Structure 1
Amino acid sequence: MKSNDKLESTIVDIARELRISPATVSRALNDHPKISHRTKERVREKALEMGYRRNKLASGLRNNRTYTIGMIVPRISMFFHAEVITIVQNLLHRQGYNLIICQSNDSRELEVDLASALYSSRVDGVLVASTLYTTDYSHFDVFVQKGIPLVFYDRVPVDFYPAQMVKGDEYRGGYLAGEHLAEAGCKNIAAIFGLLGCCLYKGRYAGFKAALKAHKLALKKDQVFFHELTHENALATLDKLFSSKPYPDGLFTANDTSALAVLEFARENKIRIPGDLKLIGYSNDPRAASVTPAITTVDQFPGEVARQLVAALNKLLDNRSKKIMEKPEALVTPVALIKRMTT
């Protein structure tokens, strides 16, 4: 049995077979501009023939890079995050990076453990959409202190934290929803938001209230609700909202999952949409366009968020030796109202 069958081939083995130096083999495999195209082809063909596998860990240790990025998201099943993850992974893969995807399940305790695990894994950078309950971000301090690129997106710290952030224009999204309901003729408007400790719902709530105020409409205390935006919670809220008259004629839900629950509730209770109740959701989940009637919603453009996220990460990776700015300016991505049949 040949020695090449016993052990994995190395650069030295390839060099011996081709009668060139190991340094030339290394440069050829790394596409060095001073190595001829013919030599690169010979080296690559021989490497393939001999079953050579590049040891990225070893090369990473030499230049203090692992070519791995960590990513923490609340839930992979959420449409917005699934879209962002897909595009981020594709973009990073083209740049030679692998992506480790971690799911916090909206548990801060698990988020703390995941941050520690990513640091221990020597990732080159971290992308984070925090949990609904994260108000203390100290578990990410080690990345800042060690100069490891850290970018928050979507669910970003409400108060100042020394890290780059990419966030949607939540205030404008809320404003567009409120304005559209007012211009559609609604006079008794209700709304369902997530918890205000999360920047998303704080922004959407502020924008929505401002739009109603601009149209001389009030958002009554007994017609605005704050809780986790699940299907079950939405149905429970709707039971309260429609327990006594006057019923609302306009409703904004700060995610599409809740808007879908509204359609279900309306069918069961013979509430006509948009005749009796006009409805707007948020996120532009594909399900919002496929149901009947199709739901008016606010598009967050996850593709643009992903591209901005990778661009921000690349900028930090290119400047790892520099200290982060005291007040890094947040990158704000656009939103747009998608008008459909529910309004």
Structure 2
Amino acid sequence: MSNRSEKTIVDIAEALELSVSTVSRALNNHPAISLATKEKVKKMARKMGYRPNTLAAGLRNNRSKTVGLIVPRISMFFPATITTIIQNKLQEHGYHLIICQSNDSYEQEVALVNTLYSARIEALAVSTTLFTTDFSHFDVFKKHQIPVVFFDRVPKDYDVKIIKGDDYAGGYKATEHLIGKGCKDIVFVSGPLTCNLYTERLEGYKDALQKAKIPFKKSRVFYQELTRENAWQTCEKIFAQAPYPDGIFATNDTTAITMLEYCRKHNIAVPGQVKIVGYSNDPRTEIVTPSITSVDQNPATMAERVVAALIEMVQTKPGVGKFSQEIIPVQLAERESSAGTFKKKKK
């Protein structure tokens, strides 16, 4: 028997005095091999610590049965939910998933794209960083007819398959809701406008104000990376002096929750003095007090559509390199943070 540390089917064949082809077929559950032989081969494989070389197998048949996924941060509710569903759905189709996170770093995203290409994945699903405006690092996939699906955070002008939420409608619905509750001075807290999510939500916000004949004020729009620390600093700017806004539309739920905490600490009544709407319908919005109204992005629907597109493209490769777009509808989950008749307290 070989003394190599990494055992192969040759070592198993030698140990059991079987042919290499018989061992290979047994490990792959070939119907021509008896159950007894299969069990004997698999038992020896476990004993020897044998690991199948899926990469080599993929090279032989040009099928790795592996899909790559790049998301900004797995710690966030929306990408975490999407990732879980994508993995589960792909497994139902017999595919493995390599999960990567860019940490919202463009440089890291470029490196991950190159790594996944080298890993010979059959397809790639991507939600880009907040700052990705140059998508040329994905050209290698297009050049070699490897399917790519962009979702949620997507390119504006790049010929690929896109599956995204209706962020314009989300921005419009959130603002319209606050207006309907009596708000006339609504702050908009946005992520960087390099990302499609926030340009579209901003347009929805502007149009809802315009329809209600409420002037748009640049001084009521704040741009930031939507972290807890940044949200707290933005609150200090918003509430630095009167008049305070009567509504806040925060374009993610981490920001909305932080702003609720700030208001509680500084005795600003929610929803009495200021009403708050968030975005993503993170489960935390239901358990804080008061619970927070938020825009539900339907992550399950988006994930299912991403997987359906990946499987279709891998199997038939229709329209690889050609632009097509699906829009996932959003809904407003109304809760206590925007409820009630508006009554602004005098300062």
What are the Cα deviations for residues 214-238 of structure 1, in whole angstroms up to 9, with x where unaligned?
2222232211112211112222222
Secondary structure at the residue paired with 1:187?
Answer: coil
Whether 1:282 and 2:279 are equivalent positions in the alignment is yes
Q: Distance in 2 between matches of 1:317 and 1:279?
A: 43
| Maintained 8 Å contact 2:186/2:247 | yes
Q: Partner of 1:310 in structure 2?
A: 307
Q: Partner of 2:320 in structure 1?
A: 324
Whether 1:240 and 2:234 are equivalent positions in the alignment is no
Distance 1:307 1:40, change over 3 A: farther
**Deviation >6 Å, runs of 4+:** 2-7, 11-19, 21-25
Match of 1:45 among 39, 44, 57: 39
2:238 partner amino acid: L
Alpha-carbon deviation of 1:42?
A: 4.2
Q: Distance in 2 between matches of 1:15 and 1:169?
A: 60
| Maintained 8 Å contact 2:68/2:98 | yes
What are the Cα deviations for residues 268-299 of structure 1, in whole angstroms up to 9, with x where unaligned?
21100001111000011111111111110011
What are the Cα deviations for residues 243-270 of structure 1, in whole angstroms up to 9, with x where unaligned?
2222111110000011011111101211
| Count of aligned positions | 334
1:115 partner amino acid: V
1:324 partner amino acid: V
Q: Partner of 1:266 in structure 2?
A: 263
Distance 1:319 1:187, change over 3 A: same
Secondary structure at the residue paired with 2:172?
Answer: helix
Secondary structure at the residue paired with 1:202?
Answer: helix
TM-score under structure 2 normalisation? Answer: 0.87
Q: Distance in 2 between matches of 1:43 and 1:318?
A: 34
Distance 1:63 1:338, change over 3 A: same
Q: Distance in 1 between matches of 2:24 and 2:262?
A: 65
Q: Distance in 1 between matches of 2:201 and 2:320?
A: 29
Q: Partner of 1:342 in structure 2?
A: 337
What are the Cα deviations for residues 164-191 of structure 1, in whole angstroms up to 9, with x where unaligned?
1111111111111011101111111111
> For structure 1, which segment, 225-234 or 267-276, has the greater mean C-alpha deviation from structure 2 after superposition?
225-234
Whether 1:61 and 2:56 are equivalent positions in the alignment is no
Q: Partner of 1:142 in structure 2?
A: 140
Q: Distance in 1 between matches of 2:13 and 2:100?
A: 38
Distance 1:131 1:325, change over 3 A: closer
Q: Distance in 2 between matches of 1:7 and 1:190?
A: 61
Q: Distance in 2 between matches of 1:152 and 1:40?
A: 46
Q: Partner of 1:132 in structure 2?
A: 130
Q: Partner of 1:296 in structure 2?
A: 293
Whether 1:219 and 2:213 are equivalent positions in the alignment is no
> For structure 1, which segment, 69-78 or 214-223, has the greater mean C-alpha deviation from structure 2 after superposition?
214-223
Q: Partner of 1:10 in structure 2?
A: 9
Q: Distance in 2 between matches of 1:43 and 1:294?
A: 61
Q: Partner of 2:99 in structure 1?
A: 101
Whether 1:333 and 2:331 are equivalent positions in the alignment is no
Q: Distance in 1 between matches of 2:94 and 2:326?
A: 25
| Maintained 8 Å contact 2:26/2:41 | no
Q: Distance in 2 between matches of 1:104 and 1:7?
A: 33
Q: Distance in 1 between matches of 2:101 and 2:216?
A: 35
Q: Distance in 2 between matches of 1:45 and 1:205?
A: 61
Alpha-carbon deviation of 1:11?
A: 8.7
Alpha-carbon deviation of 1:55?
A: 3.5
Distance 1:141 1:9, change over 3 A: closer
TM-score under structure 1 normalisation? Answer: 0.88
Counterpart mapping for 1:73-88 below 5 A: 73-88=71-86
Q: Partner of 1:204 in structure 2?
A: 201
RMSD, matched Cα: 2.7
| Maintained 8 Å contact 2:232/2:258 | yes
Q: Distance in 2 between matches of 1:178 and 1:9?
A: 62
Distance 1:41 1:193, change over 3 A: same
Question: Identity of counterpart residues, as a percentage?
Answer: 49
What are the Cα deviations for residues 131-159 of structure 1, in whole angstroms up to 9, with x where unaligned?
11110000110000011111111110022
| Maintained 8 Å contact 2:9/2:24 | no
2:304 partner amino acid: R
Q: Distance in 2 between matches of 1:199 and 1:315?
A: 26
Alpha-carbon deviation of 1:45?
A: 2.5
> For structure 1, which segment, 111-120 or 234-243, has the greater mean C-alpha deviation from structure 2 after superposition?
234-243
Q: Distance in 2 between matches of 1:333 and 1:177?
A: 16
Q: Distance in 2 between matches of 1:43 and 1:206?
A: 66
Secondary structure at the residue paired with 2:187?
Answer: strand
| Maintained 8 Å contact 1:158/1:198 | no
| Maintained 8 Å contact 1:279/1:342 | yes
